[in-house]
Structure 1
Amino acid sequence: MASRTKRSDRTLAPAYSCLCDKALANYANRRIGADLARRGFLAGMGASMLCTVLPELALAQQPAAAPGAQPTTLTNFRLFDGKAGALQDGMFMVVDGNRISQLRRGTPGATDGQRVIDCGGKVMMPGLIDVHWHTLLAALPIQTIMQADLSFVYLAAGAEAQRTLLRGFTTVRDAGGPAFALKQAIDAGMLSGPRIYPSGAMITTTGGHGDFRLLTDVPRTSGQISEVERTGAAAIADSADEVRLRVREQFMMGATQIKLVGCGGVSTPRSPLDMLTFTEPQLRAAVETAADWGTYVLVHAYTPEAVKRSLAAGAQCVEHGHLIDDRTAESMAKSGTWLSTQPFTSEEDVAPLPPSSREKFLEVTTGTDNMYKLARKHGLKVAFGTDLIFSQVLATRQGTMLGHLARWYSAAESLGMATGGNGQLLALAGERNPYPHKLGVLEEGAYADLLVVAADPLQDMSVLANPDQNLHLIMKDGRIYKDRLKA
């Protein structure tokens, strides 16, 4: 078996070796590859067509440098490395392939045969990470997603992936949806976009958040699969055995971690926030199955009751948590559980909602301030995500959402959360991690995902809310996708 350090080199073309019939195995490989390539081709084709009318996407389609082509030396920058709370001066960096080979003080040695980039004294920082992103839901209204052909949804997602990268987000954790083909297309270089950690279908109960079935689909009979489940957007399970089955299905598809729904949600019309979905044994079945696969579970939970049940089941990450109380926050701190949440502050942070969903969203925003204060009080491990869905315009607010953290954290703390901190959370994927080297930090051996920013974000994080103007260099995996420095 290949070593862990080499797994990133074989994510696109896995080698199968077994004692079964070779002809049958080869046929299966061709069928699986053809199916995934077809879906990836649709996304790539759509992005290419959109590039004819969106010049910035055409830029993203043509990265300036490919990994392994030649080393790149970057000089004359002020460094925020994703860990320290202050900038470091007098450094140089050498990128070789898709990783940082040197990051040291002083001046570089001989640079013959290398590309040399003078950063003009600007700030260099790690690429941003959004750990609650929905790659297939971000750019389209929910009505379109529910009614359109899935191919169209993939086309829109492919275009939005490129825009996401050009906003400076070089990695996202997909928190629910069939993003596997899009991830494969990006990793294969068919599309430009962020690294994706896919969760696969949101696993929920009958009537829970994510159960968008029509009432005519109820009651469910044995073996019946709804259209929502067939697309891979959600998976419904109502017993511990069903939970194990649905979890294993997502891993079979390529999930790096599992998303479970522990309570009601804002966008699902028939799931009040205070409802509970899975029992503790059912949640534990998912946690144990994920551990069998060497990774973890994230649980959608807003209320104290839902969070406590998740903690009791051993979940390592809670999503949202906006309505937690002091005792629940204390329990999270004792267990070391991550709080992956979003700084929702007003209705500007959400697409237009029907009255029932709007009421739930306002309840969530009302709890945001208290949640972050409790997180600070108890020293919780907090991750940054945006959960911006159902609007292409709203998706552009990723950097704006990051700026909201200034109400509770310093700029250095906020940027550290969205880079090095989020990288630590992603590393919980363990044996299912498709990108086993460090993300979210700039250090030797880490992936070469970085931004060069026009102004100092440690002084004013709002510069990241205007990426078109203020991001002068975007590099991901050693490739340059935007370069205004040479201008």
Structure 2
Amino acid sequence: MFTCSTDDLPNSAAAGCGCCRPELKFASDRMTAELSRRGFIAGATGSFAALGLTGKARAQAPSPPMVFRNCMLFDGKASRTRGGVQVLVEGNRISRIIEGDAAPPDGARVIDCGGGVLMPGLIDAHWHTMFAALPLMALTTADIGFIFLAASAEAERTLMRGFTTVRDLGGPSFALAQAIDRGMATGPRIYPSGTMITTTGGHGDMRPLEDIPRSPGGRLSHMEHIGGGSIADTADEVRLRAREQLMQGATQIKMVGGGGVSSPRTTLDMFTYGEAEFRAGVETAADRRTYLTVHAYPPEQMQRALAAGTQCIEHGHLMDEATARMMAERGAWLSTQPFFSEEDQAPLTGQSRVNLLQVLEGTRTMYPLARRHGIKTAFGTDLLFSPDILHRQGLMLARMTNWYSPAESLQMATSGNGELMALSGPRNPYPGKLGVIEPGAMADMLVVNGDPTADLDLIADPNNFTVIVKDGTIYKDTRSGTAA
């Protein structure tokens, strides 16, 4: 990567040659070592951090105390906004909710919200950081470095749509999460699952047919090397793959219970794992004091995972009455998405389109079931494989008014999703409350030009966010008379 020849140079010249600095040679050695393609990301990130060559983040470090005033407050929990308050932020935490019009503390920066609504940052409970912005073909063929750069650019756009936190449900997002947390890149907080664990032929098994047959214990496929999926066909393999993700920093583990829309060789009614394999995943996650979430659509898949002890189901669009009752009784989470039309996905054909049409039909019955049974329901989008549809992230939240009030929908995408993030327990990398504006909570906030508790369509257009704050740092400020 970085080389020079010093054989003919005097010692003093070699000492002054920048490319011969020991720390740069160390970085070069790491980056040219026999790393896997996925390992390039972690290796490069660690090397450049060691050198202090981190790129300057667009936003500055957290400033002295800030006071947000002249606002209506939606705290993430209440059913309506309230006025007559100010919010004091110190460092990366919300310090106090100040009643009345008291003078701000000395030295505090005053943020005049112009009468807009101050609310918590949005949380997307089902996102794919590495897979959202590129077509599937590019993801299966491109260099992992290019994939990483595309994901990093999309992470910043995600934050600019008002989503200050995402739960990543499949993909090698560990290094990007670390880069964002260290200020080397701009984006939302990421709760990574790492690679999703599936069986041979299950949803997420995107291997070309020349990669089969697979021998147990044999070499990994390209898909597995880049973190696109992990094949595990036995309970012991499930434990192995889950432990690998936890070792890299997974905040939760994801397993696949059946077929999926984006896997054209699968059908939604097929099964992958039995209860024993799911139980291995539940126990392995519990050993690290976190939880397992399971991708499943039909009732039988969901029931099998719930019987094994999983605490969260992803999707569940084909859920029936008995399964809804089972989820409610067990206190399990339903992390799902309001898919409403084919425009919510990249163009699909063949079996993938057949699967999508089943999901769209199920959306109309799933939410009423979840509401009637009081199931803990999380909001997510699961937008994949197309930069052309990612702008729909806020639109999908606005669509929740088909089943919930605007305030209930916002509660789901803020304080509700914050509770789901906290399910990671000690594996939670952000040990403060998310999705609420209250003393001690993380300072992730939006200022909205209008009242989204009355008109949720405001969330669909990021231009309505005049201020975006994450971790006590202002990333966007377009109030009148201020520079972005």
User: Normalised by the size of structure 1, how large is the TM-score?
Assistant: 0.88
Q: Does 1:414 align with 2:409?
A: yes
The equivalent residue for 2:184 is 190
Equivalent residue for 1:453, pick from 444, 448, 463: 448
Give runs of aligned pairs for residues 92-111 of structure 1, distance below 5 A.
Answer: 92-111=86-105
Query: CA shift at 1:36, angstroms?
Result: 2.3
Contact 1:324 1:371 in 2 (8 A): yes
**CA–CA distance in structure 1, aligned partners of residues 102 and 263 of structure 2:** 55
Give runs of aligned pairs for residues 310-459 of structure 1, distance below 5 A.
Answer: 310-459=305-454
Give runs of aligned pairs for residues 156-195 of structure 1, distance below 5 A.
Answer: 156-195=150-189
Pairwise CA RMSD of aligned residues?
A: 2.1
**CA–CA distance in structure 2, aligned partners of residues 148 and 195 of structure 1:** 25
Contact 2:93 2:442 in 1 (8 A): yes
Query: CA shift at 1:104, angstroms?
Result: 2.4
Query: CA shift at 1:74, angstroms?
Result: 1.0
**What secondary structure is seen at the aligned counterpart in 1 of 2:466?**
strand
**CA–CA distance in structure 2, aligned partners of residues 482 and 110 of structure 1:** 22
The equivalent residue for 1:62 is 58
**CA–CA distance in structure 2, aligned partners of residues 122 and 40 of structure 1:** 41
Query: CA shift at 1:194, angstroms?
Result: 0.1
Contact 1:323 1:371 in 2 (8 A): yes
Equivalent residue for 1:36, pick from 39, 42, 60: 42
The equivalent residue for 1:244 is 239
Query: Which one-letter code corresponds to 1:62 in the other structure?
Result: R
Query: CA shift at 1:223, angstroms?
Result: 2.0
Query: Which one-letter code corresponds to 1:476 in the other structure?
Result: K
The equivalent residue for 1:126 is 120
Q: 1:460 to 1:306 in 2, by over 3 A?
A: same
Give runs of aligned pairs for residues 109-120 of structure 1, distance below 5 A.
Answer: 109-120=103-114
Equivalent residue for 2:208, pick from 186, 189, 214: 214
Query: CA shift at 1:302, angstroms?
Result: 0.2
Contact 1:40 1:182 in 2 (8 A): no
Query: Which one-letter code corresponds to 1:135 in the other structure?
Result: T
Q: 1:462 to 1:289 in 2, by over 3 A?
A: same
Query: Which one-letter code corresponds to 1:181 in the other structure?
Result: A
Query: Which one-letter code corresponds to 2:320 in the other structure?
Result: D
Contact 2:67 2:104 in 1 (8 A): no
The equivalent residue for 1:286 is 281
**CA–CA distance in structure 2, aligned partners of residues 34 and 361 of structure 1:** 35
For these two proteins, the number of residue pairs brought into alignment is 442
Contact 1:41 1:185 in 2 (8 A): no
Deviations 1:364-383 (A, max 9, x none): 00000100010011111000
**CA–CA distance in structure 2, aligned partners of residues 376 and 365 of structure 1:** 18
Query: CA shift at 1:486, angstroms?
Result: 4.6
Equivalent residue for 2:140, pick from 138, 146, 154: 146
Which consecutive unaligned segments of at least 5 residues does structure 1 have? 1-26, 50-57
**CA–CA distance in structure 2, aligned partners of residues 251 and 370 of structure 1:** 35
Query: CA shift at 1:269, angstroms?
Result: 1.5
Deviations 1:202-225 (A, max 9, x none): 000111000011111111123221
Q: 1:307 to 1:110 in 2, by over 3 A?
A: closer
Tell me which structure has the larger Cα radius of gyration. Answer: 2
Query: CA shift at 1:393, angstroms?
Result: 1.6
User: Normalised by the size of structure 2, how large is the TM-score?
Assistant: 0.88
Query: Which one-letter code corresponds to 2:191 in the other structure?
Result: Y
The equivalent residue for 1:309 is 304
Which consecutive unaligned segments of at least 5 residues does structure 2 have? 1-28
Query: Which one-letter code corresponds to 2:61 in the other structure?
Result: A
Query: CA shift at 1:442, angstroms?
Result: 0.5
Contact 2:257 2:305 in 1 (8 A): yes
Q: 1:377 to 1:235 in 2, by over 3 A?
A: same
Query: CA shift at 1:244, angstroms?
Result: 0.5
Contact 1:329 1:375 in 2 (8 A): yes
Query: CA shift at 1:35, angstroms?
Result: 6.2
Contact 2:75 2:120 in 1 (8 A): yes
Deviations 1:392-428 (A, max 9, x none): 1211110000011110000010000000000000100
**CA–CA distance in structure 1, aligned partners of residues 73 and 48 of structure 2:** 39
The equivalent residue for 1:71 is 65
**What secondary structure is seen at the aligned counterpart in 1 of 2:83?**
strand
**What secondary structure is seen at the aligned counterpart in 2 of 1:88?**
coil
**CA–CA distance in structure 2, aligned partners of residues 118 and 40 of structure 1:** 40
**CA–CA distance in structure 2, aligned partners of residues 440 and 112 of structure 1:** 28
Query: CA shift at 1:178, angstroms?
Result: 0.3
Deviations 1:61-87 (A, max 9, x none): 521x422x3111111100000000010
Query: CA shift at 1:231, angstroms?
Result: 0.7
Contact 1:42 1:155 in 2 (8 A): no
Deviations 1:449-483 (A, max 9, x none): 0000001101111111110x200000000000000
Deviations 1:344-387 (A, max 9, x none): 01001111112220111011000001000100111110000000
